Structure 1
């Protein structure tokens, strides 16, 4: 099928399809006239790629995950990558929850401005409390600290 038909069936722009091709995620044959000729399985492949991106996988991770032939999935590698992504998401959720709790504590402290103190003085008061560590800091449960190990974070250069 031609790129316009593939774009219509997947809801993707032709430029996005060409991008995935250039990124090595989609292999296409060329007709004698130079037009791209996509196989039927390209629809499924593009749905897998876009779904994986929505789930937080980088293009590099997707490239490593996809088999050269759609019928040759590596079960153990697939399960391992999916479990790792779940762990990454859980670690991100934990960091976001901590950030949220810290910001809420900061807002509460700012709003607890003592009577008769102006905004600038209140800002200094809050900043001094932050520097002294007096603001309530969220704490991690003992088992949650493993999620924040540096080796669990996304490697530099992956997108």
Structure 2
């Protein structure tokens, strides 16, 4: 099939398909005498895997190692290990994002509850002190002190 049809079937732009081909993620395709690329039916599912893996946070280099050399040459053990590693990375990121959210909510509440008549400079110090206290009450890490030191 030609690139236009593949783009339509995969939902990807032809330029992205060419990029994946140039990156070695899609096997080199046969060119017809007229110069058009001729993609096999497996190109559709390979593109679906690439797009899905990218959406899940895999880099192109990681995807390159996950893809089978042929339709029946999956490295199941390596694939499962990579998927489990990505889930663990996502869990770490989720934990960090939840900590960041808590810190931001503390900052918002602290700013909104500024005592009447308090100057901005004093309130800034009050907010920062509250954020430090909150960070020290948890694991000590915050967006003010990412390493948890101090």
Task: Report the TM-score when normalising by structure 2.
Answer: 0.84
Shift of residue 130, structure 1, vs aligned partner = 5.9
Deviation sequence 1:58-110 (CA, Å, 0-9, x none): 10100010011121101100110000000000000000001111111111222
Deviation sequence 1:6-39 (CA, Å, 0-9, x none): 0111111111110111111011221222211100
Aligned residues: CA RMSD: 1.7
Deviation sequence 1:31-51 (CA, Å, 0-9, x none): 222211100010111011101
Task: Output the CA distance in 1 between the equivalents of 2:125 and 2:96.
Answer: 27
Secondary structure of 1:70's aligned partner: coil
What residue ranges of structure 1 are gaps of 5+ in the alignment?
Answer: 141-159
Task: Output the CA distance in 1 between the equivalents of 2:70 and 2:124.
Answer: 60
Runs of 4+, deviation exceeding 3 Å: 118-121
The answer (yes or no) to whether the contact 2:110–2:130 under 8 Å persists in 1 is: no
Task: Output the CA distance in 2 between the equivalents of 1:65 and 1:85.
Answer: 12
Structure-to-structure mapping, 1:67-106, within 5 angstroms: 67-106=68-107
14-23 vs 117-126, greater mean Cα deviation: 117-126
Shift of residue 118, structure 1, vs aligned partner = 3.3
Task: Report the TM-score when normalising by structure 1.
Answer: 0.79
What residue ranges of structure 2 are gaps of 5+ in the alignment?
Answer: 140-150
Task: Kindly tell me the number of residue pairs found equivalent between the two proteins.
Answer: 137
Task: Output the CA distance in 2 between the equivalents of 1:123 and 1:58.
Answer: 40
> Larger relative CO (CA 8 A, sep 6+): 1 or 2?
1
